[in-house]
Amino acid sequence: MLGLMQDQPLLISSLIEFAERHHGDGEIVSRRVEGDIHRYSWADVARRSRQVANALDSENLLFSDRVATLAWNGYRHLELYYGVSGSGRVLHTINPRLHPEQIAWIANHAEDQILCFDLSFLPLVQAVHAKCATVKKWIALCDADKLPADSGIPGLVSYEAWIGGQSTDYAWPSFDENSASSMCYTSGTTGNPKAALYSHRSTILHAYAAALPDVMGLSARDSVLPVVPMFHVNAWGIPYSAALTGAKVVFPGPALDGKSVYELIEAEKVTYAAGVPTVWQMLLTHMKPAGLRFSTLKRTVIGGSACPPAMIHAFQQDYGVEVLHAWGMTEMSPLGTLCTLKNKHLEMSAEAQDAIRLKQGRAIFGVDMKIVDSDGKELPWDGKAYGDLLVKGPWIVKEYFKAEGGDPLVPDAQGRGWFPTGDVATIDADGFLQITDRSKDVIKSGGEWISSIDIENIAVAHPAIAMAACIGVFHPKWDERPVVAVVKRPGAEVTREELIKFYEGKTAKWQIPDDVIFVEAIPIGATGKILKTKLREQLKGYKLPGL
Ligand code: AMP
């Protein structure tokens, strides 16, 4: 017997219709590429995304055709989120920080038909457009009078001219909720990048889940600043969850430096901000020497890489901002776990609570997780046993676009497929996950594993260290030993010996790095994560002291 509830597909267009009707006057504020501040409302997003849909129809784009963006976080990008997916096409957000060759490869692989770009990426588009065989229209996200005259890009039009003449009426089509809605290529440190292809259903379920109080906890009372880019896993779903909740959204555009982000937080009374640790580091570095304080910011979700304890301490204790440490990945839309305390933790000391916040948190309903040993045997949730982390759920990929890389899932005894995250983790009895490493970054010393994240966290807790990356280096007896590459804060001094001494008492003796390498900079990838492969290349030929 089937239930007798209405059969209504979960579609992205319903989010923008809801936002228009229920909080149409909710504000959307954007710092534009031009540098000025633009403001309008959810009702305006809805109206203009219908114009986008009409413009796509007039280009004769078919259902599921791909429309790409090379764009910062801003209102026009948001209109494309809704106009493209809502009308049944697939939004392909491209990471502009990738190498131009890789961007061309991705655009060809996705078979993008239209590519919309912010003017700051004009040189990039000039470099790649001739190689993008499937793109038949290039659109600059700007006013008609800002369109560059001699761009060299055939048929280039401005976004405003493109949608300007279109009707603001559009009947959003209804279709199978499992239809593709958007796609994002993984950073792909090895081999070609692979794309996660999200569906309307997965996006809506993720948006519901993300809005829950113990997840992102967004509400109509929030002013939300997604510093996480809309070109990487849909800015952690905030453009969708904000429409669902009616939060005010503040887009930072291209200005991600500490000063600009701080000023935007204050000017727009931001209560909630989301970003990766590298961006928050820039913000804190700007604020501390100037003695600046937050007047409205209450919570920040930090993820994408491990949030160091020093950062948790600074936000929580120095600025009174609650840190929500989150873990996820492109293949997971991206949210997997989020760290919020349970009732029984509320009586604990601030230090004990911060120690919990260091973990990546508890699984969101919808995400099943387990850790397994090298034979695939499930490991206990005791906070000590660590193993490969596998996940399954309705917003996690079952395969990559065009079946690239084959079937990624690992079947269990019941034949259910689990996605191997490539992360190594522990899970404690309360269900808190802690990532110890990427499986390929784990350091194996004398048969025991050393967490490179732990080693890095200790280094950046030293006042003279701005950034740290730990890698394993060959050792004839122990297989590998940890060494830590560090960048000093401007004007700060610390010696190799002082830093090694700093580890004493903070980690087991055998886990203390054998060496400290002072470097000018640590290579960072397109999504703000440390590129250990590149660091290993840079340190090729390096030998441990005494060998
Ligand atoms: P991406 O798909 O590019 O977003 O990268 C996903 C990967 O980033 C995960 O598999 C983890 O290795 C890493 N990651 C994401 N969030 C965290 C976190 N909070 N702590 C540690 N690693 C993280």
What gap in Å lies between CA 297 and CA 281, rounded to an integer?
16
**Three-class secondary structure of residue 322 per DSSP:** strand
Model confidence pLDDT, tens digit, residues 289-326: 999 999 999 999 999 999 999 999 999 999 999 999 99
Per-chain mean pLDDT for the chain: 95
C-alpha angle 235-239-245 in degrees, rounded to nearest 5: 130
211 in Cβ contact with 45 (< 8 Å): no
d(CA 96, CA 185): 12
Q: What type of residue is 456?
A: E
pTM (2 d.p.)? 0.92
Mean pLDDT across the stretch 502-524? 92
Verify whether residue 296 is a known catalytic residue.
no
CA distance 42 to 28: 7
183: enclosing H helix or E strand: strand 180-185
Q: Shortest CA distance to 77 belongs to which of 94, 64, 65? A: 94
Q: Identify which of 498, 504, 436, 497 has the alpha carbon closest to the alpha carbon of residue 463.
A: 498
Q: Mutate which of 276, 279, 329, 357 to test ligand 1's pocket (most atoms within 8 Å of Cβ)?
A: 329
160 lines ligand 1 (CB under 6 A): no
DSSP, res 435: E
Q: Which of these ranges, 332-346, 425-439, 466-480, has the smallest mean pLDDT?
A: 466-480
Ligand 1 neighbour 306 (Cβ under 6 A): yes
pLDDT tens digits, residue range 202-221?
A: 999 999 999 999 999 999 99
Provide the pLDDT confidence category of residue 508 given band limits of 50, 70 and 90: confident
Question: Which residue, chain included where needed, has tokens 């045997």?
Answer: 377
Q: How many Å is the Cα radius of gyration of the chain? A: 24
Question: Any catalytic annotation for residue 331?
Answer: yes
Handedness of CA 235, 241, 246, 247 (dihedral sign): negative
- List the one residue out of 369, 467, 385, 376 whose CA is nearest residue 426: 385
- Residue corresponding to tokens 């994240």: 453
Mean pLDDT of 358-363: 97
> How confident is the model at residue 314, as a pLDDT?
96
* pLDDT at res. 191: 67
Query: Picking from 224-233, 271-280, 441-450, which range would have the lowest pLDDT averaged per residue?
Result: 441-450
Residue 533 is predicted with a pLDDT of 85
Residues 275, 235: Cα–Cα separation, whole Å: 9
Q: What span, in angstroms and rounded, lies between the C-alpha atoms of 72 and 90?
A: 18
Q: CB–CB of 13/26 below 8 Å? A: no
**Whether the Cβ atoms of residue 315 and residue 323 lie closer than 8 Å to each other:** yes
Identify whether 9 is preceded by a cis peptide bond (ω within 30 of 0). no
Q: Residue with the nearest Cα to atom 1 of ligand 1?
A: 329
Please work out whether the CB of residue 51 comes within 6 Å of at least one atom of ligand 1: no
For residue 304, report the distance from its CA to the centre of ligand 1, in Å: 4
Three-class secondary structure of residue 7 per DSSP: coil
> Which residue ranges form the domains of the chain, and what is each CATH number?
12-23+39-207 (3.40.50.12780), 445-538 (3.30.300.30)
DSSP state of 316: I
Q: CA–CA separation, 537 vs 524, rounded Å?
A: 13
Please work out whether the CB of residue 434 comes within 6 Å of at least one atom of ligand 1: no
d(CA 219, CA 210): 11
Using CB atoms within 10 A of its CB, is residue 229 exposed (0-12), middle (13-18) or buried (19+)? buried
181 lines ligand 1 (CB under 6 A): no
Q: Tell me how far the alpha carbon of residue 245 lies from the centroid of ligand 1, in angstroms.
A: 26
Which structure tokens are listed for 267? Answer: 């000017």
**Does any ligand 1 atom lie closer than 6 A to the CB of residue 186?**
yes
Q: What's the pLDDT tens digit per position in 525-538?
A: 877 788 888 898 88
Element (H, E) at 471: strand 465-475
**386 closest CA partner among 396, 397, 395, 374:** 374
Q: Is 206 in the pocket of ligand 1 (CB under 6 A)?
A: no
Contact predicate 489/461, CB 8 Å: no
| Residue in 79, 160, 331, 480 annotated catalytic | 331
Give me the pLDDT at residue 190, please.
57
Residue 10, number of CB atoms within 10 A of its CB: 17
What is the Cα–Cα distance from 93 to 107, expressed in whole angstroms? 10
* Crossing angle of helices 258-267 and 277-290, rounded to 10°: 80
Residue with tokens 């760290």: 339
Listing DSSP states for 195-263 in one string gives EEEEEHHHHHHHHHHHHSTTTT---TT-EEEE-S-TTSHHHHTHHHHHHHHT-EEEE-TT--SHHHHHH
SS3 of 117, please? strand
Q: Is the C-beta atom of 454 inside 6 A of ligand 1?
A: no
For residue 173, the SS3 value is: coil
Is 186 among the catalytic positions?
yes
- 148-200: pLDDT as tens digits: 999 999 999 999 999 999 999 999 999 999 999 999 998 655 567 899 999 99
| Half-sphere CA count of 491, side-chain side, radius 13 A | 0
363 CA from centroid of ligand 1 (Å) = 15
Contact predicate 156/137, CB 8 Å: no
Are the C-beta atoms of 379 and 386 separated by less than 8 Å? yes
Instruction: Find tokens 């776990």 and name the residue.
Output: 337
**Non-local CB neighbours of 334 within 8 Å, separated by 6+ positions:** 233, 236, 237, 328
Q: What is the number of the ligand 1 atom nearest to the C-alpha of 325?
A: 19
In this structure, which residue's CA is closest to atom 7 in ligand 1?
A: 329
Mutate to test the pocket of ligand 1, among 187, 305, 419 (most ligand atoms within 8 A of CB): 305
